[in-house]
A and B are shown apart, each in its own frame.
Chain A
Amino acid sequence: MVQILDIMEKALEGKPMSETDYQLRLFAPKVAEKVKEHRIKWDPEIPIPSDNSLADELFEAGLELLVDVGAYCTDTGRVISYTEEEIRRSLKEAPSKLHFGEGRDRKKLVARTPEDKTPPWCLLGAGGGPCSSDRSFLTLVEGYAEIPETNAITTPAITRVGGMRVRPASPLEVLAAQRNAVLAREACNRVGREGIPIMNSLATAESDIAFAAALQPRFGMRRSDGYMICCMDPMKVDFARLNKVAVALSMGGAIGMCFGPMLGGYAGGPEGTAVSNVAHHMMGVLTYQSSWLLPFTIHLKYVASSSRDMLWVISSMGQAISRNTHLLSLNLNYTTAGPCTPMCLYETSASVMAAVVSGLSIESLGVATNKHEDRTTPVEPRISAEVAHAVAGMKRSDANELAKKLLAKYESKLSSPPLGKGLYECWDADGREPSKDYKAVIRQYKKGMADMGLELKPEL
């Protein structure tokens, strides 16, 4: 078993290399080589493939990629290498189930397989999207906690403390991260779901010091929460991230590495991006000591995960992982369109379906590229979860046909999507429900889904 001290030893003794050489002259060409050797090819007509041999080739390609390039430590300028035996053993030893939460909200996250009827784990919320105030933070998290399918919450990020914009690694970030922990728990308590786990701990803590500071028990974080740590693309780590790993391990927290190889980025096109995603899963288990994984690939041009090629990446890498490992993997999706638009709901439906029928669970979601403050509501994750439960057990071939119908609804608008409305323009915080306008949009969307063959819960 590779442990944190082994990682440090590798980071201090590995092959020296410049960061540019690692990503441009080692990683990128090796990805292209693996795509070619394993004859991986995506077909735009099949955004959700059913080809098991493609999934298995992708798995082998990803494993070989990790053996060939390892991870890269930016602080030591060295490659952290792994043998094939180390990788295969770590995959075998990784947990196939984990418990999160407390009391009646304590639930079990389990590994899934393609076309699995097991409902996916629904980590719902804002995926670290920016919110402007404590008020909007509480409004959102209360709304997320009230969604019946919510297994765990992914909070927004706090951007201001005492009217001042948060600065990295400053007391403002420390205080904001502590406030993130306190307010998240408070919001869950307010709606009677005090045991629900927070699994993106802590969205506001980018620095290691803020992360560690907010884990003081008095702020409410628990061992039964999920400890998300973000990887730098491609396959990179630094001491600050390893510090977070050491801190989370010391308190017995389950680490989930979050990684987002961009489609069009260092791994190239859809095929290379899928290979890179598979390799990142394995790298996360080793380097970041992760017991669960959080892929969130986004498209370089659209900054979202709903385009045709992105659906293929989500589905193919999901199948590669779920057919060949028992890793616990949750795909995070982003939309281009904003709240109170049918397009946003269609986009998240397509991405979520691609993940769920391919054996993944979900984190949902970043709305309108997760760029704008308070441009997200509890509706979008609720719809994502309804779709996730509705498609569990669906055949991949049927999902492929539905995906094509969904794409026809929004594909041509990805370059100039409607941004929709802000939180309080389309969410009634006191009534704990969407505005009249948004309800009409949801009914229109659900009718559209039913017309395409997927019945969702009736909208009250």
Chain B
Amino acid sequence: MSEEKILKDLQKSVLEYDSAGAVSAAKAAIAAKMDPLKAVEKGLVPSIETIGDKFEKMEIYLPELMLAADAMKSALALLLPLIPKGSKGAKATVVIGTVQGDVHEIGKNIVSSLLMAGGFNVIDLGVDVKTTVFIDEAKRNSAGVIGASALMSSTIGSQKDIVDFLVSSRDRKKYAVLVGGGPTTKEWAKEIGADGCGMTAVEAVALANKFSKGR
């Protein structure tokens, strides 16, 4: 199969929310000994960027955004391990989740998918995530950014815990901590010593970009 055809298949799989198609195209890229970085940058990234743009304009909605991100994730699972460390690939790793005691996921899912669309390697920890799990997973995945979402005024305190734990273990400088969700504000982020508050999903991605090379 030609490189051109493989790249088109990768693009199409994301645009059509087709995880099986993405896996199949990624396998074809590997079988054809194609440069995996090229498969990611020329195949997957342009399509997921298109998806992100369409979502921002509300031409498509959350299910399409998440399914496209799923398709991309399926292909990345095969391609990323083949990209040598140190070469330019994914921007940075972001560990993201909804904090302990909070099961609201929509905002977190949007940011998670848009981060992926923005070229980040995203580790989505889900909802009701303990503070120590955020930190352990950030360490385990060599993440640069921790994203903590909270929808309830009673749950945003856990965002402060993440910062406090990092300070206490002298790891604060290693990770940018970004907060977001219903009751969070820039003032709150400043008060707890976080690096920023995404008032919208787009702003959250912009902040992740700002800190993608470190704090």
Contact = CB atoms under 8 A, between A and B. Distances in A.
A205 to B, nearest CB: 9
B1 interface: no
Contacts of B184: 371
A206 B154 contact: yes
A266 B106 CA distance: 9
A179 to B, nearest CB: 13
A301 B62 CA distance: 12
Given A130-B153, A159-B154, A372-B185, A168 B102 contact: yes
B106 A206 contact: no
A402 to B, nearest CB: 26
B64 to A, nearest CB: 8
For the residues of B in contact with A, the DSSP-based class is: loop
Contacts of A24: 63, 66-67, 70
B11 interface: no
A165 interface: yes
Given A238-B103, A262-B106, A371-B185, A300 B156 contact: no
Contact of B103 (A74, A165, A371): A74
B214 interface: no
Interface string B87-117: 0000000000000111110100010000000
Nearest to B202: A301
Given A265-B106, A371-B183, A168 B155 contact: yes
B40 to A, nearest CB: 23
Interface residues of B, number: 27
B61 A264 contact: yes
A440 interface: no
Interface size class of A (residues with CB under 8 A): 35 or more
B183 A269 contact: no
A269 B54 CA distance: 13
Interface in B175-204: 182-185, 200
B152 interface: yes
Nearest to A29: B63
B58 interface: yes
Contacts of B182: 370-371
Contacts of B149: none
A204 B160 CA distance: 20
Nearest to A31: B63
Interface string B150-170: 001111111010000000000
A266 B105 CA distance: 11
A29 B61 CA distance: 12
Nearest to A299: B58
B44 to A, nearest CB: 19
Interface string A366-385: 00001111000000000000
Given A167-B101, A206-B101, A265-B106, A157 B153 contact: yes
Contacts of A372: 185
A233 interface: yes
A169 interface: yes
A92 to B, nearest CB: 33
Ranked 8 nearest A-B pairs via Cβ = A168-B101, A28-B63, A130-B153, A166-B154, A165-B157, A268-B61, A159-B153, A265-B62
28 contacts: A24-B67, A24-B70, A29-B63, A74-B103, A130-B183, A157-B154, A159-B153, A159-B154, A159-B183, A165-B157, A167-B101, A167-B154, A168-B155, A168-B158, A169-B101, A204-B154, A206-B101, A206-B102, A206-B154, A233-B106, A264-B58, A265-B62, A265-B106, A266-B106, A268-B62, A269-B61, A300-B58, A371-B185
Given A206-B155, A266-B63, 9 more contacts: A24-B63, A24-B66, A168-B100, A206-B102, A206-B154, A207-B101, A262-B106, A266-B62, A268-B63
